[in-house]
Amino acid sequence: MAERYRNHLILVKADFDSYSRFWNVRAHIQFNQHITFRDVLITGPKDTFKSQKRAETHIIQEAKKWVDNRLREIANKTQTVDTGVET
């Protein structure tokens, strides 16, 4: 599953663990930073999700939070440089 969010690509992978009977999930967040391609891996909690849909929904929410935090930090740094005042 893939989703684009705020110029970042979120690639989700959920795997069923037949031993624990739970879904484990992870996401790659891909984006360009200046001229460099970045790929960040985030993982969800293990042995938590009883359905693939819940696992994927959770990791997408976490990935979007990660993107929002990253963009907020960039905006704050840019604002500090523009004004010369730390926020």
Domain boundaries in the chain?
2-83
CA angle 50, 15, 69 (to 5 degrees): 85
Cβ-proximal residues to 84 (8 Å cutoff; 6+ apart), any chain: none
How does pLDDT run across 4-62, given as a tens digit for each residue?
Answer: 999 999 999 999 999 999 999 999 999 999 999 999 999 999 989 999 999 999 999 99
DSSP assignment of 59-76, as one string?
A: HHHHHHHHHHHHHHHHHH
Q: How many residues does the chain have?
A: 87
Total-model pTM: 0.87
> Domain 2-83: which topology?
Double Stranded RNA Binding Domain (3.30.160)
At 76, list the tokens: 């704050």
